[in-house]
Amino acid sequence: MCAHVIVAEDDEKQAELVRRYLEREGHAVTVVGDGLAALEEVRHGAPDLLVLDVMMPRADGLDVVRVLRAESRELPVLMLTARTAEDDLLLGLDLGADDYMTKPYSPRELMARVRTLLRRSQRSAGAATAPAPDPLLSVGTLVVDPARHSVSVGGRPVDCTPGEFRVLAAMAAEPDRVFTRQQLLAELHGFDRYISNRTVDVHVMNLRKKIETAPRRPARLLTVFGVGYKLTDPAKGAQLASQ
């Protein structure tokens, strides 16, 4: 598919390299050199994808993602970073970025990830225009509404990042099923094989803080040691324990 891609990169040589590869695949490309310009272009340019460097003047990439998700923009974001610390990389995903690559990177791999994000975004857009709304997914008092992209626990709204929502929705659709990390990664990134299993663990950790009464002693989102994770109704578990 041909798409409008914004490249936010203050290194002119890197920006030009990315622009050339994107245009070679038929995409329209807008290049900006700082975070505030990226936000302005997103708000007025109706892009399909944002390729976003982390270290930029005026506003860094993490701040840009934070603002976009606060504005409830579902624009796919691929972050580029020279940072190698795992916590720094995962912070971008926690804020709502869809994928990241560390510098130096292969331009061919970059294009593969761009294609993956655009395909997934296109599928999501098609699903959004389907005539029948998705049913509510309920696991005890936890309710996931795919159509409205909302989550609640006991009637209390829960704010989730796009990645957290995808993990939770997949598990809520099949309560008590044990999902491996690879299966949950498939929900997050389609067939993108480059993302670390650690990504799933971070999303699960953050979800527990939001949906569990005692996150360190989870009753809903459980670890199945050596396998993965499952979502269950804690009331059901308490009932079984009392029998």
User: Would 4-128 and 137-242 be classified into the same CATH topology?
Assistant: no
For every residue of 189-243, DSSP letters joined together read HTT---S-THHHHHHHHHHHHHH-SSTTS-SSEEEETTTEEEE--HHHHHHHHH-
Question: Is pLDDT at 212 greater than 90 in this prediction?
Answer: yes
Question: Is pLDDT at 191 greater than 60 in this prediction?
Answer: no
Average pLDDT over residues 101-107: 80
Question: Is pLDDT at 178 greater than 70 in this prediction?
Answer: yes
Tens of pLDDT along 2-41?
889 999 999 899 899 999 999 988 899 999 999 999 999 9
Residue of 153 and 190 predicted with greater confidence: 153
For position 176, what pLDDT does the model report? 93
Range in 57-61, 86-90, 109-113, 192-196 with the lowest mean pLDDT: 192-196
Record: fold of 4-128:
Rossmann fold (3.40.50)
For position 239, what pLDDT does the model report? 52
Record: fold of 137-242:
Arc Repressor Mutant, subunit A (1.10.10)
pTM of the model: 0.56
Residue 144: pLDDT band by 50, 70, 90 thresholds? very high
Q: For a pLDDT cut of 70, what percent of the chain falls above it?
A: 85
Residue 104: is the preceding peptide bond cis (ω within 30°)? yes
Task: Report how far apart the first and last C-alpha atoms of the chain are (Å, whole number).
Answer: 56
For position 198, what pLDDT does the model report? 77
Residue of 135 and 142 predicted with greater confidence: 142
Q: Tell me how many helices (H) and strands (E) the chain has.
A: 9, 12
Report the 10 Å Cβ neighbour count for 141: 15
Question: Is pLDDT at 193 greater than 50 in this prediction?
Answer: no
Question: Is pLDDT at 131 greater than 50 in this prediction?
Answer: no
For position 81, what pLDDT does the model report? 81
Q: Under a CB-based contact definition with an 8 Å cutoff, are residues 192 and 186 in contact?
A: no
Extents of the domains making up the chain: 4-128, 137-242
Tens of pLDDT along 164-174?
888 999 899 89
Average pLDDT over residues 81-94: 67
Average pLDDT, the chain: 83
Q: Which of 100, 99, 62 is nearest to 80 (CA)?
A: 100
Question: Is pLDDT at 224 greater than 90 in this prediction?
Answer: yes
Spell out the alpha helix ranges (H) of 78-196.
86-95, 107-128, 162-172, 181-189
Q: For a pLDDT cut of 90, what percent of the chain falls above it?
A: 36
For position 156, what pLDDT does the model report? 94
The two three-digit tokens of residue 101, written as one number = 């690559």
